[in-house]
Amino acid sequence: MVKLSELKDDMKVINENLSIYTVKDVKNDLLYFEGNIIYTAKEYQASIDARSMLESAIESEYDNMYEDWNEHILDDVIEDDIVELQTILDAILSRSKDQNIAYYQDEEIEIDISH
């Protein structure tokens, strides 16, 4: 368990309802947070692996094609194709940088300051 007083004001925290706040928000409204459990927020940014995505898409289409079709197609994929696809995927995800973040509960926070 970490203490609220030891956390930086701009650090993100998360409550049981998965609402995100900053430590400063909590400190400024201690009455609201009193009796609630809050946690440090662990940030996760989505990433899509181009090779895995392509293999999955080819496998999905395989049911509509002839036997060994998937192997023939995958044999034609070169590393430059993967690099190009990865560049495109990374560009798409970076354009939505603010929407490409999720937060999860990490360590419970002890509210060790009073109002």
Query: Is a pLDDT exceeding 80 seen at residue 97?
Result: no
Mean pLDDT of the chain: 93
* Lowest pLDDT segment from 29-38, 63-72, 73-82, 91-100: 91-100
Query: Binning pLDDT at 50, 70 and 90, where does residue 78 land?
Result: very high
Neighbours of 114 (CB within 10 A): 6
Q: Which percentage of the chain shows pLDDT scores above 90?
A: 77
User: How does residue 10 score in pLDDT terms, banded at 50, 70 and 90?
Assistant: very high
Residue 61 CA to residue 1 CA, distance in Å, equals 49
Q: What is the pLDDT of residues 24-64, one digit of tens each?
A: 999 999 999 988 899 999 999 999 999 999 999 999 999 88
E strands, the chain, are 2-3, 12-15, 20-22, 38-45, 101-110
Residues 6+ apart with CB under 8 A from 114: 30
Full-model pTM: 0.67
